[in-house]
Amino acid sequence: MIQKANYFHDQKGFTLVEVLVSVTILSMITVSFFAVFAFVSKTNLKSEHSIEAQYIGQDQIESIYQYSQTMTYEEMWSELEKQGFILVEQQENARIYQIQKDSYRIQVTFSDSIIDSKIKKILLKVFRIGQSEHLVSQLETAYKWR
C-alpha cells in the first residue's frame, strides 16, 4: 500500500488552478485578436468606400472636362439632365446638380469665376448613402468652357 500512495504523490501534471490560469490567458489573447480583426475589417470597408467614391468623383470630373472641351456651358446643362442629374438649386452665379448612383449621391456645384466668365469653378461631392448619409469624397477644379 505504501507503494500506491507514493505513486499518486509522484505523479506529474497540471493542477486545476494552472489549467484555469492557462485557459484564462488564452481566452484573453483570443479576444484581443478578435477585436483587432473587427477593427481591421471596419477600416478596410471604409477604405473600400473611400476608394470607390474617389473613382466615381474622378470619373464625373473627367466627363465634365470633356463637356468643357466639346460643348458650351449651357449645352452641358441639358447633357447633365439627359444623364439623370437634377437641378437642385440655381442662384445668380451658381447651379447645383445632383444624381444618385448605387449607394452614392453625387452633388456638383458650378459657379462663376471672378477672373473670367468662361471659367467655371466645379465642386463635386460624393456622399455615401446608408443608415446615415455622409461625405466620402470631395474634388474641386476649374475649367474654361469654349
Q: What strands lie across the sheet with 86-90, from one edge to the other?
A: 86-90, 94-101, 104-112, 119-128, 134-144
Determine which helix (DSSP H) or strand (DSSP E) holds 127, and give its type and residue range.
strand 119-128
Asked if pLDDT for residue 52 goes beyond 70, the answer is yes
For the segment 29-57, the average pLDDT, to the nearest whole number, is: 93
**pLDDT of 122:** 96
pLDDT digits (tens, 9 = 90+) for 16-33: 999 999 999 999 999 999
Q: State the Cα–Cα distance between residues 67 and 83, nearest whole angstrom.
A: 13
For the segment 135-142, the average pLDDT, to the nearest whole number, is: 96
pLDDT digits (tens, 9 = 90+) for 59-115: 999 999 999 999 999 999 999 999 999 999 999 899 999 999 989 999 999 999 888
For the segment 22-51, the average pLDDT, to the nearest whole number, is: 93
Paired sense of beta strands 104-112 and 86-90, if any: unpaired
**pLDDT of 5:** 56
Determine which helix (DSSP H) or strand (DSSP E) holds 93, and give its type and residue range.
none
Q: Give residue for cell 448612383.
A: 101
Handedness of CA 37, 39, 40, 46 (dihedral sign): positive
> In this structure, what DSSP letter does residue 71 have?
S
